[in-house]
Amino acid sequence: GSGWRLGVHIADVAAYVEPGSPLDREARRRGNSVYLPDRVIPMLPERLSNGVCSLNPGVDRLTHSVFIDFDKHGAPKSARFVHSVIRSVHRLTYKQAYAILSAPPTDRLGERLHLAWELAALLRRKRFEHGALDLDFPEVKVSVDKDGRPVKLERVENDESHQLIEEFMLAANEAVARELKRRAIPTVYRIHENPDPEKLAEYREFVLSFNYRAGDLTHRAELQRL
């Protein structure tokens, strides 16, 4: 085909939280939601965070959306940023999404998801071609009993369902960053500095001592290979 249009949507929480209101002040005091093994202590009241600000299926929700047009090679051509109203059709867990991606599509949802993965896989491949590192550290989910004691540790696999969300969140964040830069709006960019060459050289010596072959690690491809 001629390319893709990707829509990424987040709840427009600011529509419900007046600046300077008690809600706003309390949220500022908390700073963020705190995620514990068996519960979340939300920054905003549950009625907001799990209610009107949760993108539940089958209901209209106020959102901020970015629509990105990609060419057939996966390069972003243009992006549009809008206040929107969306009505989600399905709420999928990662496991449900992975099951759909693991089999040939049988319905419209399956077709859309497989199409989305085509784009995500292309974006992912391009990222690694440009020297991205795959730092897939195992993530562990802790299950606790009613007294809060851990009873089970489960490894969370970073499968295609997680990678799909990862690529689309990255694409949306990069589109926003490009737009802020284009409009010269001061903002905080989350950019990693290049590693210190001396530390890289030391690390190379360390790695060689374990008989791993390592070339010049200032080249991304060599670091990737290692």
DSSP labels, 101-132? HTS---SHHHHHHHHHHHHHHHHHHHHHHTT-
DSSP class of residue 13? G
Instruction: For 144, list phi and psi in degrees, rounded to 5.
Output: -120, 155
From residue 82, alpha-carbon distances to 10, 73, 89, 121, 181 in Å are 11, 25, 20, 26, 18
Confidence of residue 136 (pLDDT cuts 50, 70, 90): confident
Q: How many CB atoms lie within 10 A of CB 53?
A: 22
The larger pLDDT score, comparing residue 144 to residue 1, is at: 144
Question: What pLDDT is stored for residue 65 in this prediction?
Answer: 98
**Angle, to 10 degrees, between the axis of helix 94-101 and the axis of helix 108-129?**
90
Token duo for residue 68: 């990105």
Whether residue 187 is predicted with pLDDT greater than 70 in this model: the reply is yes
Question: What pLDDT is stored for residue 37 in this prediction?
Answer: 86
Whether residue 171 is predicted with pLDDT greater than 90 in this model: the reply is yes
Q: What is the pTM of this model?
A: 0.84
Question: Which tens digit of pLDDT belongs to each residue from 63-83?
Answer: 999 999 999 999 999 999 999
Token duo for residue 152: 């089970």
Question: What pLDDT is stored for residue 138 in this prediction?
Answer: 80
d(CA 213, CA 136): 21
Question: What pLDDT is stored for residue 167 in this prediction?
Answer: 97
What is the percentage of the chain residues whose pLDDT exceeds 70?
100
Confidence of residue 111 (pLDDT cuts 50, 70, 90): very high
d(CA 123, CA 160): 13
Q: How many CB atoms lie within 10 A of CB 87?
A: 11
**Rounded mean pLDDT of the chain?**
93
